[in-house]
A and B are shown apart, each in its own frame.
Chain A
Amino acid sequence: SQTIHQWPATLVQPVGSPLSLECTVEGTSNPNLYWYRQAAGRGLQLLFYSVGIGQISSEVPQNLSASRPQDRQFILSSKKLLLSDSGFYLCARTEGAYGYTFGSGTRLTVV
């Protein structure tokens, strides 16, 4: 199984509050993992990717951060949320010819 688990499914947070979104994957070891954000009317935007434990690459400067404490665990965090952080957050892993397999996503609304 190449299942990706994301939680929570929905989240409403006030501006300035912290954030932690977790993604865990099943299947082959040492997967490449990704965090994408999908905002209304915009395409999927790559935020972070990781090729291994402790290895994080950031694509977009922002107040978000990512960590990979275990081989199959990828965490997206923020110390203080902004209104502009609202969106649909997707975790994904590469599957060779199949491109990405995506998780079910987390809908974040910052109020």
Chain B
Amino acid sequence: EDQVTQSPEALRLQEGESSSLNCSYTVSGLRGLFWYRQDPGKGPEFLFTLYSAGEEKEKERLKATLTKKESFLHITAPKPEDSATYLCAVQIAGAGSYQLTFGKGTKLSVIP
């Protein structure tokens, strides 16, 4: 069974304290791995897509990396406005209609 596990479930950081969120996956064939940001009461917002092991993507204070078994979302010198739930999702090769399987998310709180 295809699974996506995110850790930790929740993370509290002081402003400026860098850290990483983890997304581990067991799938039968990865087409792509996606990271989303979700603010309370809103729909998820796209951040990154990674397709192959070794690939890295960056956007402002965020950097996503991918290995054959997991992905990391590194947050450098976070600010309070980075507080949100971060979702990881995988797209399986051969799956119909581009379905995504999501993890439960990591709730990040950045304290001023």
| A contact set with B: CB distance below 8 Å | 4, 32, 34, 41-44, 46, 49, 51, 57, 59, 90, 92, 94-95, 97-105, 107
Contacts and interface: CB of A to CB of B under 8 A. Distances in A.
Contact of B43 (A32, A90, A97): A90
Nearest to A55: B97
A44 B35 CA distance: 13
Nearest to B5: A43
Nearest to B45: A102
Contacts of B4: 43
B96 interface: yes
B81 to A, nearest CB: 19
Mostly helix, strand, loop or mixed at chain B's interface?
strand
Contacts of A98: 46, 49
B89 interface: yes
Interface centre among A98, A99, A107 (most CB of B within 10 A): A99
A57 B96 contact: yes
A100 to B, nearest CB: 6
B49 A94 contact: no
B43 A105 contact: yes
Contacts of B104: 41-43
Please give me the 8 A-B residue pairs with the lowest Cβ-Cβ distance, nearest first. Answer: A102-B43, A44-B102, A43-B104, A99-B34, A43-B102, A94-B98, A32-B97, A98-B46
